[in-house]
Structure 1
């Protein structure tokens, strides 16, 4: 026997899908994935040193300046939409070897405000628990002129999600992602480098619906220079400074699937975007503490918002190396 709650939930599903269909017919709707662009930049293909535990606090801020249609033209100017994420995370790299690579793992508990679910300006949640990021496997290789990294990560739907709600803090779906990348060094001291990290996200169905976000490919990296800051006697480094240009690209590889009563499965046009900006980060050797800042201005957006991404990271590194 159906209850009033069941009927209400079914009505919500239908209204939600019909609303999304209406936006699709207007030519700009896309569903968002869990991958946060801007989280990686310089040396994105390099794993941190072995026998270290990094505890970090990220600060992500995104502001949309326009909504772009299928032709890349402005469908909406000045949407007055911002999104922010913060939290606490930890990343550990061991000396345990798998296929010659160091094994590592990462977890991030995050909180988000004004979570962007798709191409909607109706995002009004205050800071709340969002989806949890877990990377149970990261493998890193270090060679003379190149580093390589491979990882598997998942996004757990721990954030609030109700179909059709404007105050969702999570995306309401389980997400799997595989990443592989490299950092190339152009001199023996490894002070000039270029990196690229490709991540492929496979999304499950949204909670209590048959709506499915398409697969997403993200590519991030940068071209930079490393500077070693020396003590007054110039006999030993006191800090390491990295600075350079960074970029990201993201493409929807398969179409979003939205079931609509009578009509059937509706598939929207795929979206994509690019971005270019700058990064500077500094690691103080004596304090084992680092701080980094990234800015990326987005370009060439199709079927999605275009704006600016800001990313600030503070971290402390605990070393377990035997002296």
Structure 2
């Protein structure tokens, strides 16, 4: 009897030790949200013109060069983690007014490889259908020296997800996000501008688990200049170039919740900051655009640090009634 009691105590002690080791191992881990940083930059607070339908193909690439811990020190050097997302999207802005603003909507159906869920260096994902991004409500205001935008986004968990798997293409959770932004113009021609957009993401529990990602606050924008390239007769512009410096910031606002036996681990929050450049080219006759963003992360706590590339090809259709 005494032997069984001692064995039981040793088992409990071993379980407690394993739990403590698990918490210690996870101390620097953080769960990621659905907001893809780098998707916004110059004129982030400006809605597209009314009566336009934009069909676009994004190409997002993120490469991590290091993993930093809660002290900002390098925990893993050269983790060899890359993430790629592409797909097809459509964005529409109408002439319908709500509170003086134009109503718009957006949808993006995408595929992804190596969908980074957290600070996990054991990722082996092939290209697969990922979570669906929908903006059912976007409102845009255009003033003389400033534009304003408000939007509500949802991320539908349409990508493959299983807790602990290394080939997930989605995050396995329903996400709500609210964004507000503005673009300020420093001259009457609106060729010199600064923009910022703030987005707040609220995450649900992951599929078939009680794991919950904390709320996330993101800021994106940039300082830029618009250039008009005139035709041979110099009577009208044939193309428009928009170029400048951009940034993003992201902060975990509330703690993650990861059940480990009887313990709900929360851990330290993470954040990241990045600076970069953007250039966009619009050919007016063909109504086609190409945009490129590059950002290098200059500060990171409890997360990967690396570089972001964002390439977007788009075509603009007019929906104005003749």
**TM-score with structure 1 length normalisation?**
0.92
The change in CA–CA distance for 1:143 and 1:268 in structure 2 (over 3 A counts) is: same
Aligned counterparts, 1:1-323, within 5 A: 22=22, 25=25, 27-262=27-262, 264-322=263-321
Are the equivalent residues in 2 in contact too, given 1:218–1:249 (CA < 8 A)?
yes
Are the equivalent residues in 1 in contact too, given 2:26–2:267 (CA < 8 A)?
no
Deviation, 1:121, is 1.1
Deviations 1:38-87 (A, max 9, x none): 00000000000000000000000000000000011100100011000000
Cα RMSD for the two superposed structures: 1.4
Distance in 2 (alpha carbons) for counterparts of 1:102 and 1:226: 23
Once superposed, which parts of structure 1, at least 4 consecutive aligned residues long, lie more than 4 Å away? Answer: 18-21
* Unpaired runs of at least 5, structure 2: 1-17
Deviations 1:162-192 (A, max 9, x none): 0110000000000000000000000000000
* Unpaired runs of at least 5, structure 1: 1-17
Deviation, 1:295, is 0.1
Deviations 1:233-264 (A, max 9, x none): 100001110000000000000000011213x2
Are the equivalent residues in 2 in contact too, given 1:20–1:29 (CA < 8 A)?
no
The change in CA–CA distance for 1:26 and 1:210 in structure 2 (over 3 A counts) is: closer
The change in CA–CA distance for 1:149 and 1:214 in structure 2 (over 3 A counts) is: same
Distance in 2 (alpha carbons) for counterparts of 1:281 and 1:201: 27
| SS of equivalent residue, structure 2 residue 169 | coil
Greater C-alpha Rg: 2
Are the equivalent residues in 1 in contact too, given 2:64–2:307 (CA < 8 A)?
yes
**TM-score with structure 2 length normalisation?**
0.93
